[in-house]
Amino acid sequence: PTRLTTSSLRAGSRALAKDADLAHVIKEVGPCKIEITGGGFAVLARSILSQQISTKAARSIRRNLQDLLPRRRLAAAPILSLSDQQLQSAGISAQKRGYLRDLAERTVDGTLNFRRLARADEETVIDELTQVRGIGRWTAQMYLMFGLGRPDVFAPDDLGLQNAVRDLRALPARPSAGELDEIARAWRPWRTVAAWYLWRSLDGLGLG
C-alpha cells in the first residue's frame, strides 16, 4: 500500500487546491505537515489511554505507565507482567486496563501482527483492529492515517470533520456521516490530506 511522504503530501495539497473552498484553507494553513508515527502496539496503547479524557490527563497517565516499564517503553509483554494494582496506580481505569490487556495479549500471541497490518488494505486493517476491545472504527482510521500514513482514509463519523465541512461549504447544518462520505469522494485519492486540512481549519486560523 502507498504511504505518505513529503513529496506526496505536496502532490496531495496541489490536487486538493483544485477545490476552491479547500484552496482557501490550504493557502491559510500552509504546507501539510502530517507526522507519521509508525504503526505498532504503542500507537494503539496511547489511543486507548487517551479515550474520553483531556490531552493533559492522558499524557500524565502515559508517563505514569511508562515509569513502570523497562526503558519507559510501551511494549506488550512488559505491560502484561504488571499487576492490576500497578496499572491502577498509574491512573488507568478498570475498563481501560481490560482494553490494554486485550491489546497486549493479542500482540504477544500474534493474533495482531503489525507487520502484516502494514501491508494489508484499509478495510482489513479496520476489521482486525476493531476485534480488540476498546478499539472502534474511528481509532482504526486514525491508525491508518497517522500510524501507517495511508493517503486516502477519511472518518465521516468524526464530529470535527462534520463541523469543518459545514463551515467549508456554508451548509445550513452539520452533514451526516453518509452525506460527508459522499462529499469526501471528490477528494480521492487524498482524503487523509483533506482531513488534516479540515481539522486545521477548526484551529481558529481566521478562515472564512
| Positions marked active-site | 158
Which residue pairs, CB below 8 angstroms and at least 24 apart, start in 131-138?
131/106, 132/44, 132/99, 132/102, 132/103, 132/106, 133/98, 133/99, 133/102, 133/103, 134/48, 134/51, 134/95, 134/96, 134/98, 134/99, 134/100, 134/102, 134/103, 135/44, 135/47, 135/48, 135/99, 135/103
User: Measuring CA to CA, which residue among 171, 138, 136, 132 is closest to residue 154?
Assistant: 138
Angle between helices 20-29 and 191-201 (to 10 degrees): 60
Contact (CB, 8 A) for 207 and 25: yes
Angle between helices 55-67 and 41-50 (to 10 degrees): 130
- 83/78 Cα distance (integer angstroms): 10
